């Protein structure tokens, strides 16, 4: 916890040293709620996006309420006021982009007076959700996940699926052609993926990220640059995309596409964008789009982009799902737009020496305290690439076996950030069986409340997740032994009380027992995991 000094309200005078009688009233704004000083703590949760330039995505600041505190005014999307006596609390969630990305900026979002009177800033028009909970941290996480699933209900045919994407090996669009994509589909089927996504390059127009751009290409104003920008690239795909979609259906796979909304002129072309996406949905059967290059430039652009997603939702009767890229620029972030789909959290590449499996696991674990993990599209890579860039690093991707790499993101929405056809044989021998087992269990596991347990991943921790079923009688445990010396670990299962139960090992290697609410595990090998299903006895 980062206990930073309280921000000083611009309306608060500096202390003069002259003691005032306690009966002098403090000047406060009209309050939504009031929390007695001395018995409550205030937590400000600072989330970060623009992950191309940021790796630590969650920061917390805490105050114990006291009448000597000046008026506290804070910006953000998530705030908690919790009783220090019984762990009950209230969460305030602002359904808006992060403060730096909002079209309508405000200096503060929440104000807490010296007497505990609390006010929410509603002047910018964004919606607030106010949640109450009991049971301390675990009750708080469960309440936050539940409100996100109220906004976007979980559907197992749409959410939490394994998607592979052609961009992750850094060839960008250079390899795209029918033969390459046919091999991608065949290899994805062997691996057990649900969706193969063609990233930037399937379209006629060239973007700034193309392997052929050489400093040119478009990153906005697509329709103005070329009325046929979003036609299928007939040089790369002379017969169009339909044959590839048919091949994918024959292999029990679906195909997704990359797309960049035209954000020029305050996203004035949102209707053209929506009709294009719906046409691909109707004619090709595209249900999954990765959304990139999105920019919030004004209140009107923000409103138009929301209309784009609403039009596609209504026009597809909810069938189309989006991965909303939050890696750069001013975008909707974690709470600005929940309903359209998952969050494409980060670009990490062994080519750039910025992918470590324990870092990705850390992102999942830290965000899971506040964000439903199924909303997080997180990556596992081909560990055989660019090994020389990691030299003798004991936490290099190559130190992990392929099934452990998949396990590190399987409580989220896994992203195979690689070209399937270039994977080593070990991925099909070791990860594919785990993926098959995961697909059998994932609906039950993802339907539960997914809680981060253990220590924050840092490469040397014991860490993991617990999924607790709604009836609190069954669930799943996924525990990781990082590069530490302790082969044994024990945790108290949250939300379940003093439960004893039967255990079934689903993946990994090790042993485990569950008695009186305590889960004891042994994993003899470092950088390995144990995945369990448990069921309450009696």
| Distance in angstroms (rounded) separating the CA atoms of residues 137 and 328 | 31
The pLDDT of 415-433, averaged and rounded, is 98
Looking at every residue in the chain, the average pLDDT score rounds to 94
Residue 54 pLDDT = 97
Number of H-type helices and E-type strands within the chain: 11, 25
Pick the CATH number of 163-441 from 3.20.20.70, 3.90.380.10, 1.10.510.10, 1.20.58.1030: 3.20.20.70
- The pLDDT tens digits for 153-184 are 999 999 999 999 999 999 999 999 999 999 99
How many percent of the chain have pLDDT more than 70? 94
Residue 247 pLDDT = 98
From its phi and psi, is residue 454 left (phi > 0), alpha (psi between -120 and 50) or beta? left
- The pLDDT tens digits for 450-465 are 999 999 999 999 999 9
- The pLDDT tens digits for 463-518 are 999 999 999 999 999 999 999 999 999 999 999 988 898 999 999 999 999 999 99
Res. 353: pLDDT tops 90: yes
Q: Residue 21: pLDDT band by 50, 70, 90 thresholds?
A: very low
Res. 6: pLDDT tops 70: no
User: Encoding tokens for residue 470?
Assistant: 């709604």
Q: Residue 92: pLDDT band by 50, 70, 90 thresholds?
A: very high
Residue range 450-536, CATH number? 2.60.40.1180
Kindly list the domain boundaries of the chain, sorted by start residue: 33-134, 163-441, 450-536
Is residue 66 a contact partner of residue 49, using CB atoms and an 8 Å limit? no
Q: Do domains 163-441 and 450-536 have the same CATH topology?
A: no
Residue 32 pLDDT = 67
Res. 289: pLDDT tops 50: yes
* Sole residue written with tokens 């991707």: 397
Task: State whether the Cα torsion 222-224-230-236 is positive or negative.
Answer: negative
Nearest alpha carbon to residue 482 among 516, 427, 523: 523
Nearest alpha carbon to residue 185 among 170, 164, 157, 167: 164
- The pLDDT tens digits for 234-247 are 999 999 999 999 99
The pLDDT of 357-369, averaged and rounded, is 98
| Distance in angstroms (rounded) separating the CA atoms of residues 89 and 288 | 37
Res. 16: pLDDT tops 70: no
Res. 350: pLDDT tops 80: yes
| Distance in angstroms (rounded) separating the CA atoms of residues 94 and 44 | 12
Residue by residue, DSSP assigns 163-219 as: EEETTTTS-TTTT-SHHHHHHHHHHHHHHT-SEEEE-TTSBSS-BTTSTT-TT-SBS
Res. 115: pLDDT tops 80: yes
Residue by residue, DSSP assigns 273-289 as: HHHHHHHHHHHH---EE
């Amino acid at each position: 916890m980062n206990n930073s000094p309280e921000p000083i309200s611009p309306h608060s005078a500096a202390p003069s040293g002259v003691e005032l009688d306690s009966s002098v009233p403090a000047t406060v704004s009209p309050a939504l709620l009031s929390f007695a000083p001395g018995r409550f703590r205030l937590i400000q949760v600072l989330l970060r996006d623009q992950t191309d330039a940021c790796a630590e995505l969650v920061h917390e600041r805490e105050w114990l309420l006291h009448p000597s505190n000046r008026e506290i005014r804070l910006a953000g999307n998530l705030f908690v006021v919790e009783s220090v006596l019984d762990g009950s609390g209230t969460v305030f969630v602002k359904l808006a982009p992060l403060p730096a990305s909002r079209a309508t900026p405000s200096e503060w979002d929440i104000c807490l007076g010296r007497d505990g009177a609390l006010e929410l800033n509603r002047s910018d028009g964004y919606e607030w959700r106010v949640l109450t909970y009991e049971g301390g941290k675990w009750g708080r996480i469960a309440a936050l996940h539940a409100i996100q699933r109220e906004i976007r209900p979980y559907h197992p045919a749409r959410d939490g699926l394994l998607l592979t994407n052609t961009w992750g090996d850094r060839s960008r669009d250079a390899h795209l052609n029918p033969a390459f994509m046919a091999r991608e589909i065949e290899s994805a089927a062997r691996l057990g993926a649900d969706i193969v996504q063609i990233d930037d390059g399937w379209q006629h127009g060239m973007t700034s990220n193309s392997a052929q751009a050489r400093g040119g290409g478009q990153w906005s104003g697509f329709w103005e640059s070329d009325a046929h920008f979003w036609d299928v690239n007939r040089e790369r795909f002379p017969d169009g995309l339909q044959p590839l979609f048919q091949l994918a259906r024959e292999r029990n796979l679906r195909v997704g596409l990359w797309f960049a909304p035209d954000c020029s002129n305050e996203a004035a072309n949102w209707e053209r964008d929506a009709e294009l996406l719906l046409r691909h949905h109707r004619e090709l059967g595209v249900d999954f789009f990765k959304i990139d290059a999105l920019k919030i430039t004004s209140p009107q652009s923000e409103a138009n982009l929301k209309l784009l997603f609403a039009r596609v939702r209504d026009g597809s009767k909810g069938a189309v799902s989006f991965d909303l890229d939050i890696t750069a620029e001013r975008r909707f972030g974690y709470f600005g737009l929940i309903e359209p789909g998952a969050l494409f959290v980060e670009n990490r590449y062994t080519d750039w020496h910025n992918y470590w499996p324990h870092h990705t696991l850390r992102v999942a674990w830290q965000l899971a305290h506040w964000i439903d993990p199924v909303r997080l599209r997180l990556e596992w890579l081909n560990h055989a690439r660019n090994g020389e860039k990691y030299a003798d690093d004991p936490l290099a991707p190559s130190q992990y076996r392929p099934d452990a790499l998949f396990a590190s993101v399987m409580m989220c929405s896994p992203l195979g950030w690689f070209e399937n056809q270039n994977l080593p044989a070990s991925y099909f021998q070791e990860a594919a069986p785990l993926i098959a087992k995961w697909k059998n269990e994932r609906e039950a596991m993802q339907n539960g409340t997914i809680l981060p347990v253990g220590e924050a991943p840092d490469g040397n921790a014991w860490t993991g997740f617990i999924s607790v079923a709604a009836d609190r009688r069954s669930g799943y445990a996924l525990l990781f032994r990082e590069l530490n010396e302790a082969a044994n670990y024990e945790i108290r299962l949250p939300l379940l009380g003093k439960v004893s139960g039967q255990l079934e090992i689903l993946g990994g290697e090790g042993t485990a027992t569950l008695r009186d609410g305590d889960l004891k595990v042994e994993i003899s090998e470092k950088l390995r995991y144990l995945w369990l299903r448990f069921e309450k006895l009696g």
